[in-house]
């Protein structure tokens, strides 16, 4: 609906990672530089961590899109709680080796596949915080495989902050020594959040309509902490609300009202979506007054949206 009303070619805030909409914020540019540095070393491990929705997968999507498919054989796997043997079989299958048989048979097949191909082999492990220490040790052992004095496999580990705690284990000291580059991906700054929102919309044909008030963009940052997926979720709903109300301007109260609705939809505390707006003993009366105003705006806006939906789809909108 927001695509039709505002004239976008595509939805600007889809939750699915899309390398075409990549925004090179300062943190993402540094993370990308670490990926490229590690890749240039042609061996060892590169580790990128970050909160859920920080943009790790999008970062790697962009990297893969830029690598020459004639020069790289890339295997991407998403892990859960895999044993070391199961992970080895998954790696074998991803690189076209034989995953069946006992462990020794699978390992010989993997080694043969890695050594006999002319391309560089890159293994990308997403959600690596789910790997056990034995599984990580299997990856380390694979990093020892060489051909002509050069490593035949390079591994990138992407995961949530728990991955760093796992790798800090004394049992994984040898693995840590093989980490050539490591970076923790944080949230965007307030200025970069604004630039990110505008970048995503321009990429799908935004011509200034709708206009975003400065206060609205500030609230997007405060409610998302600059985490891209949270920004996408909030802005998508804001644009939906704007289209339903046929609003040409996205205002601060509109963003605040939608953020409160999102928190309610998720069954949590209405302040949970906005860590920077949580009440504490130092809250001022002005703060409380603004929150009450926002709640009133939310109720009024919801009534307008329900009425608009009833007009569009017929019948009585479900309350």
264-300 residue pLDDT tens: 876 554 444 444 444 333 444 445 455 555 555 656 6
DSSP letter for each residue of 81-115: S--HHHHHHHHHHHTT----S-HHHHHHHHHHHHH
H-assigned helices in the chain: 2-6, 26-41, 56-66, 84-94, 103-116, 133-142, 162-167, 173-176, 190-202, 214-224, 228-245, 252-265, 285-313
Q: Are 116 and 148 in contact (CB under 8 A)?
A: no
Supply the pLDDT for residue 201: 95
pTM of the model: 0.78
Give 176-189 pLDDT, tens digit per residue: 999 999 999 999 99
In angstroms, the CA 238 to CA 251 distance is: 10
Q: pLDDT class for 191, splitting at 50, 70, 90?
A: very high
83 plus 138 within the same structural domain: yes
Q: Is residue 3 part of a domain?
A: no
Q: Are 107 and 85 in contact (CB under 8 A)?
A: no
162 plus 44 within the same structural domain: yes
179 plus 36 within the same structural domain: yes
The last residue of one of the domains, among 185, 202, 219, is 185
40 plus 159 within the same structural domain: yes
The last residue of one of the domains, among 153, 185, 217, is 185
Supply the pLDDT for residue 301: 62
297 plus 204 within the same structural domain: yes
266 plus 151 within the same structural domain: no
Supply the pLDDT for residue 305: 62
Q: What is the CATH number of the domain that holds 43?
A: 3.40.50.300
Phi, psi at 55, each rounded to 5° = 110, 20
The last residue of one of the domains, among 185, 210, 240, is 185
Q: pLDDT class for 16, splitting at 50, 70, 90?
A: confident
Range of the domain at 138: 26-185
Supply the pLDDT for residue 280: 37
156 plus 215 within the same structural domain: no
Give 97-141 pLDDT, tens digit per residue: 999 999 999 999 999 999 987 889 999 999 999 998 999 999 999
Determine how β-strand 150-151 pairs with β-strand 146-147. Answer: antiparallel
210 plus 176 within the same structural domain: no
Cα dist. 53→50, 198, 304 in Å? 8, 19, 31
User: How many residues make up the chain in this entry?
Assistant: 319
181 plus 32 within the same structural domain: yes
Supply the pLDDT for residue 22: 85
Q: Is residue 11 part of a domain?
A: no
181 plus 195 within the same structural domain: no
Q: What is the CATH number of the domain that holds 289?
A: 1.10.8.60
- Percent of all residues in the chain with a pLDDT value above 90, rounded to a whole number: 66
Closest CA to 212 of 12, 10, 1: 12
67 plus 161 within the same structural domain: yes
195 plus 132 within the same structural domain: no
Domain count across the chain: 2
Supply the pLDDT for residue 289: 54
**Selected residue with higher pLDDT from 222 and 299:** 222
Q: Is residue 261 part of a domain?
A: yes
């Amino acid at each position: 609906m927001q695509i039709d009303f505002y004239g976008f070619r595509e939805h600007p805030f889809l939750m699915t990672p899309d390398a075409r909409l990549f925004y090179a914020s300062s943190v993402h540019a540094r993370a990308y530089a670490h990926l490229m540095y590690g890749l240039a070393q042609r061996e060892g491990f590169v580790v990128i961590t970050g909160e859920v929705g920080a943009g790790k997968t999008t970062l790697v999507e962009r990297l893969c899109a830029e690598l020459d498919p004639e020069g790289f054989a890339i295997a991407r796997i998403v892990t859960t709680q895999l044993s070391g043997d199961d992970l080895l079989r998954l790696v074998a299958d991803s690189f076209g080796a034989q995953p069946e048989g006992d462990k020794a048979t699978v390992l010989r097949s993997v080694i043969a596949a890695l050594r006999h191909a002319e391309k560089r082999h890159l293994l990308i492990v997403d959600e690596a915080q789910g790997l056990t220490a034995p599984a990580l040790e299997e990856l380390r052992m694979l990093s020892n495989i060489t051909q002509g004095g050069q490593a035949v496999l390079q591994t990138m580990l992407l995961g949530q902050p728990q991955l760093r705690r796992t790798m800090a284990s004394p049992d994984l000291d040898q693995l840590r020594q093989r980490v050539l580059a490591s970076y923790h991906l944080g949230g965007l700054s307030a200025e970069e959040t604004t630039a990110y929102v505008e970048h995503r919309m321009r990429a799908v044909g935004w011509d200034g309509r709708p206009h975003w008030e400065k206060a609205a963009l500030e609230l997007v940052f405060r409610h998302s902490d600059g985490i891209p997926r949270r920004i996408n979720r909030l802005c998508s709903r804001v644009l939906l609300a704007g289209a339903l109300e046929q609003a040409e301007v996205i205002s601060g109260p509109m963003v605040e009202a939608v953020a409160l609705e999102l928190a309610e939809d998720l069954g949590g505390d209405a302040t949970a979506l906005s860590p920077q707006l949580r009440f504490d003993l130092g809250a001022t009366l002005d703060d409380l007054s603004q929150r009450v105003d926002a709640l009133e705006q939310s109720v009024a806006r919801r009534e307008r949206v329900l009425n608009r939906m009833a007009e569009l789809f017929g019948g009585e909108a479900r309350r």
